A and B are shown apart, each in its own frame.
Chain A
Amino acid sequence: MKKIRVALAGQPNVGKSSIINSVTGARLHVGNFSGVTVEKKEVFIERGDYEIEIIDLPGIYSLNAYTPEEHVAKKYLYEEDYDLIVNVVDANTLARNLIFTMQLMDMQKKMILVVNMIDEVEKQGGSIDKGKLEELLGIPVILTSAKEHRGVDEIIDQIVATHESDKPKNKLYYDQRIEEQIDKIVKVLHKSPHFKDPEYARFIAIRLLDRDEDIYKIIHDLPIFIELHELLGKIYRELELEYDEESTSDILSDERYALSKALVMEAVKKPEVKVSLTDRLDRLLIHPVFGLPIFLFFMWLLFQLTFEVGSIPMDMIDAAFTEISNVVKATLPDGAVQSVLADGVIPAVGSIIMFLPNILILFLGINLLEQTGYMARTAFLLDGFMKKFGLQGKAFIPLVSGFGCTVPAYMAARTLKNPTDRIITMLVLGFMSCSARLPVYVLLIGAFFPTAHAGNILFIIYISGAILGLIVAKILRTVLFKGEPEPFVMEMPPYRFPSMKALGMELWIKTKLFIKKAGTFIAGASMIIWFLSSYPHSGTIEESYTRKIEAVQSEEAKAALENEMAAKALENSYLGRIGKTIEPFFSPIGFDWRMSVAVVAGLAAKEVVVSTLATLYAVGDADERSNTLIQRLRDNVTFKAAIAMIVIIMIYSPCIAAMSTFWAEVPQWAWRGFYLVYPNVLAWLMAFGIYRLLDMMGY
């Protein structure tokens, strides 16, 4: 089978990932703001004799890459081997998009132009003349709407057709004065064996005029460098004087903009101007006075719904798993297998699956933020506030993603240009409680707070995490990183109605992943916890208690002794011994050894905290069938210790997956080391302070 490799490139938020999803049925994450895709993703599709590999690149405004995720795209376009470029542009802002198209055309590769979101232009009475664009640019053009699945299948046919045909002749020429200088540079370039190909030499020459540092590095080590360097210096001076511009790259930008405006004039019928829905919504949603309260209200509502609606099916799921556990107990013979299933795996997995509804609601909320375009507004609203803490508005986007999952949030920090801003944002991102911590909170809130306030408490926990993050950011900025944060510049996308299909897809994927995680990782972890908490069996404890139990008469005393025996056996287990060893470290914040073990196990994944608590309090409780985990927690844990636990969970290191992502994104050893230590120290200190405070207040 023959292969075609396609680089999908375009400016941010033009719908590149949506097009791939629409063409191939892939399930790439999409949203309505710049910087949803921050790393390249490959998708494969077969057509006829061909296997087509499409590489979805992060959005990039131009080859003058600005942020780290744009450099990912630029690096790919420059260095990788691919057969053709599919350039996706936004029909609404065609003039601006075509500037990048022209830079891509300079690369002299086979190319297809996909004009996406054509439906939005047509709905407002505008239109685009496809034939005219093709004629003027000299490359095939396809009008599409990924949302309406319009024109997208044509893309694949066109990829095959373009791949099989010869490359059309370059049609893009600049002003005569610029072309003359390009020719001069090409002549010098031809002296080097690397630049014999005239088309490639022309591309290099244009990039040098565009002051592209990556290209400059390439020629820097060549023998022709001295000659070229002198020539370039002369050309820069000449052109800048002639055009009265600061830099030749500005001249080229002006030139491309003029060309693209001319193109748009010829090929586009503009929609009539009217007050858009976006403008009307923004008058309210980012109102100078009401904007922030409205945002806070949305967040509050989200956490209310997360708790309230999420808790409706909770009892049913809980009951179902208890039932399964009982059936296992009834059918399997007594022994290790029965116990590992009925006491270990099933309650643990059940204790996690129970929280799936909560997590889905939270995810739905974050997805709505992303898909409607409100996310960019929150960055706009909060930039002034964030600035006071040494961050910028755009940093707010990864922080909000962090409420979903810390892993993609670390990746999303790539949209920040300044490395310092990025490090600070990543260092405080862990304080944005991810959805895996939600079960711990919901469990502890359910056990220790009246139901009426539960949603509010949840909201307070998340907001406190965010505020703590900002304070720490401020401290890091003042103590460790001197200097100003990067300038804030961000495109504000129009509001778009979320695609129900995309929303459903995201939730379905989340559900699948969650159940898979519960069934594999969590089940495995709980099996280990069960084993460690059930062995070794101590004959002496059992013997002495069996004798005592036989001696007493009343049922109550028997039950009490049975419980005592179970507790003693648990303390004697491997895990009990580990717990007892680490307990002194946690006892100043009111934890018993079981909580200590659960918190440490939570370093693997936060769900494990809940499943470990479920196992440990179940194994230590002989009367398993009547008591819920919530009841057991109320019996065994004090209010102030529960609060201390919430604080620990909120602040200490995130899960292994998140930690390894940080590791991969941050190469400096000093930051890696700092990242491993400081959240845990801070968590303990904060928990200690709050525990003592509550203690003094008499709780």
Chain B
Amino acid sequence: MTLADLQEKQKAIVKSIGDLGELKTRLMELGVLCGEPVQLVRRAPWGDPIEIRVEDTFIALRRADAAKIEVEPISQLRVRKGRGAKR
């Protein structure tokens, strides 16, 4: 799964950052590093670009670039657990 495939508000862990050239360095400087939690905050009109959150930094980037970042979703599990507990 990639960062571009996340649902709004869904959280994930960054697994690997693909070939993004210099953009990769820039994203790492902003805190997008392997093993870090990341959240998809919202999508712009027409679904592109997207806004993501790492730590307390909010970053806008395009879907095509986000699609090169592999992630492992985590918050889905939490949502299910939460619902289960309520029931």
- Chain A contacts to B: CB under 8 angstroms: 61-62, 64, 66, 92-93, 95-96, 99-100, 249-250, 253-254, 257, 279, 282-283, 286, 288-289, 291-292, 376, 379-381, 383-385, 387, 393, 417, 487-494
Would you list which residues of chain B between 1 and 55 have a CB under 8 Å from chain A? Answer: 20, 22-31, 33-34, 41-49, 51, 55
Q: Whose C-beta in chain A lies nearest to the C-beta of B20?
A: A487
B48 adjacent to A383 (CB under 8 Å): yes
**Would A393 and B60 be within 8 Å (CB), given that A253-B28, A257-B31, A380-B49 are in contact?**
yes
**Would A383 and B26 be within 8 Å (CB), given that A96-B31, A393-B49, A489-B65 are in contact?**
no
**A/B interface sample: 6 pairs, CB < 8 A:** A286-B51, A288-B42, A291-B45, A393-B49, A487-B61, A488-B49
B45 adjacent to A289 (CB under 8 Å): yes
Interchain nearest-CB distance for B38 vs A (Å): 13
Within 8 Å by CB of A381, from B27, B33, B45, B65, lies: B45
B49 adjacent to A384 (CB under 8 Å): yes
Q: Whose C-beta in chain B lies nearest to the C-beta of A61?
A: B29
Q: Does B81 contact A (CB under 8 A)?
A: no
B25 adjacent to A64 (CB under 8 Å): yes
Within 8 Å by CB of A489, from B41, B47, B61, lies: B61
**Would A282 and B42 be within 8 Å (CB), given that A62-B29, A92-B56, A254-B33 are in contact?**
yes
Interchain nearest-CB distance for A676 vs B (Å): 33
**Would A286 and B62 be within 8 Å (CB), given that A64-B29, A383-B48, A384-B48 are in contact?**
no
The 4 tightest CB contacts between A and B, nearest first, are: A492-B58, A384-B46, A61-B29, A253-B28
List of A residues within 8 angstroms of B65 by Cβ: 487-489
**Would A95 and B42 be within 8 Å (CB), given that A380-B49, A487-B20, A489-B59 are in contact?**
no
List of A residues within 8 angstroms of B22 by Cβ: 64, 66, 417
Interchain nearest-CB distance for B3 vs A (Å): 12
**Would A286 and B42 be within 8 Å (CB), given that A383-B48, A384-B49 are in contact?**
yes
How long is the Cα–Cα vector from A393 to B43 in the complex, in angstroms? 14
Interchain nearest-CB distance for A101 vs B (Å): 12
Interchain nearest-CB distance for B50 vs A (Å): 9
A487 adjacent to B28 (CB under 8 Å): no
Point out which of B20, B27, B48, B60 has the most chain A C-beta atoms below 10 A from its C-beta.
Answer: B60
How long is the Cα–Cα vector from A92 to B30 in the complex, in angstroms? 13
New A-B contacts (14) at CB < 8 Å, excluding given A286-B51, A489-B23: A61-B30, A93-B57, A96-B31, A257-B28, A288-B42, A288-B43, A380-B49, A381-B44, A383-B60, A393-B49, A490-B60, A491-B30, A492-B51, A494-B58
How long is the Cα–Cα vector from A383 to B33 in the complex, in angstroms? 25
List of A residues within 8 angstroms of B56 by Cβ: 92-93
**Would A253 and B49 be within 8 Å (CB), given that A93-B55, A487-B20, A490-B60 are in contact?**
no
Interchain nearest-CB distance for A507 vs B (Å): 30
Interchain nearest-CB distance for B62 vs A (Å): 5
A292 adjacent to B59 (CB under 8 Å): no
B55 adjacent to A95 (CB under 8 Å): yes
Within 8 Å by CB of B26, from A61, A254, A379, A381, lies: A61
How long is the Cα–Cα vector from A379 to B55 in the complex, in angstroms? 22
List of B residues within 8 angstroms of A380 by Cβ: 44, 49, 51, 60
List of A residues within 8 angstroms of B26 by Cβ: 61, 64, 66, 489
A253 adjacent to B29 (CB under 8 Å): yes
B33 adjacent to A253 (CB under 8 Å): yes
**Would A384 and B31 be within 8 Å (CB), given that A64-B25, A487-B62, A487-B65 are in contact?**
no
List of B residues within 8 angstroms of A250 by Cβ: 24-25, 28
Q: Whose C-beta in chain A lies nearest to the C-beta of B16?
A: A246
How long is the Cα–Cα vector from A699 to B62 in the complex, in angstroms? 47
How long is the Cα–Cα vector from A488 to B20 in the complex, in angstroms? 12
Interchain nearest-CB distance for A550 vs B (Å): 74
Interchain nearest-CB distance for A262 vs B (Å): 14
B43 adjacent to A492 (CB under 8 Å): no
How long is the Cα–Cα vector from A279 to B34 in the complex, in angstroms? 26
A491 adjacent to B29 (CB under 8 Å): no
How long is the Cα–Cα vector from A380 to B49 in the complex, in angstroms? 7
**Would A488 and B57 be within 8 Å (CB), given that A99-B29, A253-B28, A257-B33 are in contact?**
no
